[in-house]
Amino acid sequence: MSDVHSPATRSKNMRAIRSCNTRPERLIRCSLHAAGIRYRLHRADLPGKPDLVLPKFRTVIFIHGCFWHGHSCKYFRLPQTNSEFWREKISGNCKRDQRNTEQLTALGWRVLIVWECSLRSSGPGLAEVSRRILASLEEQLVCPVAGVADFSP
């Protein structure tokens, strides 16, 4: 099945997709800032260039889009056009995410993953996700251990 858009239109659509400063990322940043948590953005010296880095807590936060990172929720659906390309692309993204998470935990960082769907009205919502993040950060102050926390709905 061929693409429903012309190559120029498809290219324009793909260029419009942001990799940083997305709406879910801005929501989490605003929530953390309001709670008095300070962070750094997109540190290139860390594996995976995490969306948010909280040096005080030795914690990084990745905010994953359900489509691009292959989340098993109702918002992820493999495209019917060029499906083999997308299967390989998303599979590669998932493998890279796993590799980056392993490298970060080996370096002693705690990794928090927030899924885009958890911030939607059908998910737990911003308030609940923010509460979970803050609880996780509080726990990190009490017992600083590297690991992974997935805030999936």
pLDDT tens-place string over residues 14-25:
666 767 788 889
Compute how many other C-beta atoms are within 10 angstroms of the C-beta atom of residue 29.
18
Query: Is residue 112 predicted with pLDDT exceeding 60?
Result: yes
Q: Residue 135 maps to which CATH number?
A: 3.40.960.10
Compute how many other C-beta atoms are within 10 angstroms of the C-beta atom of residue 143.
6
Query: Is residue 146 predicted with pLDDT exceeding 70?
Result: no
Q: Is position 1 within any domain?
A: no
Beta-sheet strands, E only, within the chain: 40-41, 52-54, 59-64, 110-115, 147-151
Q: What one-letter code names the amino acid at 149?
A: A
Q: Mean of the per-residue pLDDT values for the chain?
A: 85
Domain assignment of residue 118, given as a range: 20-151
Minimum mean pLDDT range among 70-79, 88-97, 135-144: 135-144
For the chain, what is the domain count? 1
- Between 33 and 9, the higher pLDDT residue: 33
Task: Give the closest residue to 96 by CA, choosing from 88, 106, 107.
Answer: 88
